[in-house]
Amino acid sequence: MTLAAPHQTQPLRVAVIGGGPAGLMAAEVLSQSDGVSVQVFDAMPSVGRKFLMAGKGGMNITHSEALPQFVARYGTTQNTIGKWLAEFNASHIQAWMQSLGVESFVGTSGRIFPNEMKAAPLLRAWLHRLRTYGVQFHVRHRWLGWANTHDSTSHSNTQTHTLRFANPQGECEVMADAVILALGGGSWARLGSDGAWVSMLQAQNVSVSPLRASNSGFEVAAPWSEYLRSRFAGQPIKPLSARVQLADGTHTDWQRGECVLTEHGIEGGLIYALSSILRSQIEQHGHATLQLDLLPDHSLQRVTDTLLQSRGSRSLANHLQSRLGLKGVKTALMHELLARELFVNAQAHAEALANGIKSLTLTLSATRPLDEAISSAGGVRFASLSESLMLTPIPGVFCAGEMLDWEAPTGGYLLTACFASGRVAAHGALNWLRAPR
């Protein structure tokens, strides 16, 4: 397809600010259009740093879940993100990876990984392709905003953006006919996602929801004892099921997984899956109530019957370990949170102790700091964006990735939506540039 009008000799200039998954995917789409010059700017010494970190323990890039269930993972934004995923989802990602020479496989959990389980080979192949397509990269370029002002009442597509950047040589200005912002959220600032863009966009009348921790750990209201913290912090708790008790007395459904005891509280995949509702409960009520089933493979009746059994000379701990496999950090957590008298005469308190084991209650008081979180919630509100992800107060500027106001659990959902949003923003920019000038 040809973007340039017949009389146009100069290519249309698009600046992509942010070299993460969303920005790189936008650059790929843009660079395949005739008459378009694409430059990617990133504040860090190299692009894709958070992408590489996310793949350090195994690059979970997407998920094989059926699309309706996949889309439901995005909660209140699923209708919007569902439109993105209709055009670019897990099957498209696998095909795209294959086109880069990277094969993938579906794990037992349904998660999709590159065969090598690493992000680096994929990123290298991707950057090689982008350079072949003519994309120019400018690292150590921190965006400072605009040098020119914007008329939010004008929707002309003829306005040129003068962008300011700080680099090791000082400050420079870059002219662009369209801009794609893919600046990330507020987590892992050391990798580039520091949320510094929030005030710049708010100054341009863009509505931004405050950045908050998502897929994060939580702090317990009553600090752990020194014994529990010193002996068991960092240890996994598995298998496990968890649910959230809501303020009205109802509960979310039990979810199964595993988590990790931390010095301050609890974190891990199972907690990340519940982080949105836990955070919401804390914001609304000052605390959240998390319930853990320490023995998800055994019924309440089975646990009660085991406690009622005569154990002879065996200690309660040995009895529960031999009969139910309850040991280690689970046993320590149980003693930390349940009343001591339940253990003094376990047979007499069998029902109460069994209920405690099957529904151990933790009161959580806060999320861990935003910069520790895997991702962030909040960002540019969709009310300030067109369907093509253009900022309505700033014509010709599009947003993509985690800087938008959405969140999702880990498991490949974050990366998939970042990729898809980059494509939406790029196509939006191309359509906007193609409009009669």
Task: Give me the DSSP letters along 363-408.
Answer: EEEEEPPGGGSSEEEEEE-GGGB-TT-BBTTSTTEEE-GGGBS---
Question: Over 70: is that where the pLDDT of 152 sits?
Answer: no
Q: Over the stretch 106-128, which tens digit does the pLDDT of each residue have?
A: 998 899 999 999 999 999 999 99
- DSSP symbol at 100: T
Q: Which fold has domain 12-211+377-434?
A: FAD/NAD(P)-binding domain (3.50.50)
Query: 109-118, 303-312, 317-326, 416-425: which has the highest mean pLDDT?
Result: 416-425
Instruction: Give pLDDT, residue 154.
Output: 40
DSSP track, 122-162:
HHHHHHHHHHHTT-EEE-S-EEEEESS---TT---S-PPEE
Instruction: Give pLDDT, residue 150.
Output: 52
Q: Over the stretch 403-425, which tens digit does the pLDDT of each residue have?
A: 999 999 999 999 999 999 999 99
Question: Over 70: is that where the pLDDT of 346 sits?
Answer: yes
Number of Cα atoms under 13 Å in the Cβ half of residue 380: 31
Question: Over 60: is that where the pLDDT of 337 sits?
Answer: yes
- Range in 60-74, 119-133, 151-165, 399-413 the model is least confident about: 151-165
Q: Over the stretch 366-377, which tens digit does the pLDDT of each residue have?
A: 999 999 999 999
Question: Over 90: is that where the pLDDT of 282 sits?
Answer: yes
* 322-to-256, 319, 326, 327 alpha-carbon distances in Å: 23, 5, 8, 9
- Quick one: average pLDDT of 229-256? 95
Instruction: Give pLDDT, residue 345.
Output: 87
- Quick one: average pLDDT of 61-81? 96
- Quick one: average pLDDT of 139-156? 71
Question: Over 90: is that where the pLDDT of 365 sits?
Answer: yes
- Quick one: average pLDDT of 37-65? 91
Question: Over 70: is that where the pLDDT of 9 sits?
Answer: no
- Quick one: average pLDDT of 54-70? 89
Q: How many helices (H) and strands (E) does the chain have?
A: 16, 19
Question: Over 80: is that where the pLDDT of 236 sits?
Answer: yes
Q: What is the mean pLDDT of the chain?
A: 92
Q: Which amino acid makes up residue 19?
A: G
Q: Hey, where are the domains in the chain? A: 12-211+377-434, 218-367
Neighbours of 129 (CB within 10 A): 16
Torsions phi, psi of 388, nearest 5?
A: -85, 10
- End-to-end, the C-alpha distance of the chain in Å comes to 17
Would you call 38 helix, strand, or coil by DSSP?
strand
What is the enclosing helix (H) or strand (E) of 32?
none
Would you call 337 helix, strand, or coil by DSSP?
helix
DSSP bridge partners of 173: 164
Instruction: Give pLDDT, residue 5.
Output: 42
- Quick one: average pLDDT of 43-61? 88
- Quick one: average pLDDT of 312-328? 90
